Amino acid sequence: MNLRELVNPSVLTQPVYEPGRPIEDVARELGLDPNGIIKLASNENPLGASPKAIEAMKAALEDCELYPDGGCVALRDALAAHHGVDAAQLVVGNGSNELLELLGHVFLRPGDEAVMGAPAFIVYKLVTLLFGATPVEVPLVDHVHDLAAMERAITERTRIVFLACPNNPTGTLNPAEEVRAWIERLPQHVVVVLDEAYAEYLDPVPDWTDLLTGDRAVVVLRTFSKIYGLAGLRVGYALTSLEMASMLQRVRQPFNVNTIGQVGAMAALADEAWVARCREANRAGGEQLMAGLAAAGLEYVPSAANFLLVKVGDGARCYTELQRAGVIVRPLGPYQLPEWVRVTIGTEEQNARLLEALRQTARSS
């Protein structure tokens, strides 16, 4: 049997997402103590989840023999109150990645196009290709989305435009007033997806709820994986119009978000003091890293998120050398940025260790 003759041909050319390496893999490969390795590759919250969320999740384990709330009713109610919208305008997913796939199920077919920045979160491209549509990548200018060029790239075949605010992997942010004016200019047949995975690191946090009335097809994506520290549980959500939400719910799998994730997300959402603490720690950590990088003569891109893009010359070599020093970062060859690495803003101690490892790597090159 030749399995390749049986599969959907597009599967054979579908790119595969490359996540940041787990600590255990690096420790095993290099013979290092996992307790001595720091991971600054995947933009996780170095302070972790709210203690209140952890306690709530521990309590929820007592009922893990039961199926989760299939509609995420309690979580959607909490999110509705948080954002001041109708609970029916919310769709909860297995991370915001699943919501990107749901958008593909609803809107993308062979022959369609999706417009996105380059580089931007690579899953936009992967989802577009998965449904046989064509990704139209618009180069960033000075690491920032070129909104005018993205607008010009739209054709009658365009179904979705993806805009990450802040963008991953550059950490840059288009001003809210420019984004709002841009959305108003876009043709009605285009679905605008605002991916705000890092929005809670901004002050103030953006509010697009006035655009979710249904007059325009706008979807705002958020996640509990970043500032809320629940990346391991995979909980994301979409804010959108009532009609758009109902379409996404039609293609959502039942029980797509587990009970522990739902409970943890509700408790994390309610702990506003913890979020404020994490936001402040990220601000201070970013300043520490930027000062250290400047002192080391390393170019970086100022970031509105919880990571920095750092120019190191040979990103793959730097990535390998840093791993030997017990520091995991993200090489950006898949994003066509071979001279750069992306580093998560960590704790003060982690940042100091990263900076020293970068200085050592620079001296050995």
Using one digit for the tens of pLDDT, what is the confidence trace for 151-207?
A: 999 999 999 999 999 999 999 999 999 999 999 999 999 999 999 999 999 999 999
Cα gap 199→204, rounded to integer Å: 9
Task: Give the CATH architecture of domain 51-270.
Answer: 3-Layer(aba) Sandwich (3.40)
Q: Could you give the residue range(s) of every CATH 3.90.1150.10 domain in the chain?
A: 20-48+273-364
**What count of Cα atoms within 13 Å lies in the side-chain half-sphere of residue 338?**
2
Of all residues in the chain, the percent with pLDDT exceeding 70 is: 99
Task: Give the CATH architecture of domain 20-48+273-364.
Answer: Alpha-Beta Complex (3.90)
- Do residues 235 and 223 make contact, with C-beta atoms less than 8 angstroms apart? yes
Q: Could you give the residue range(s) of every CATH 3.40.640.10 domain in the chain?
A: 51-270
**Residue 364 binned pLDDT confidence (cut-offs 50, 70, 90):** low
- Do residues 147 and 174 make contact, with C-beta atoms less than 8 angstroms apart? yes
- Do residues 140 and 182 make contact, with C-beta atoms less than 8 angstroms apart? no
* Predicted confidence (pLDDT) per residue in 273-289, tens digit: 999 999 999 999 999 99
Q: What is the pLDDT of residue 53?
A: 98
Give the closest residue to 300 by CA, choosing from 334, 339, 327.
339
Q: What is the pLDDT of residue 361?
A: 83
Cα gap 89→81, rounded to integer Å: 12
pTM of the entire structure?
0.94
pLDDT > 80? residue 362:
no
pLDDT > 60? residue 88:
yes
pLDDT > 60? residue 326:
yes
Residue 60 to residues 67, 89, 163, 237, 259: CA-CA distances in angstroms? 12, 26, 36, 21, 7
Q: What is the pLDDT of residue 365?
A: 52
By residue count, the chain amounts to: 365
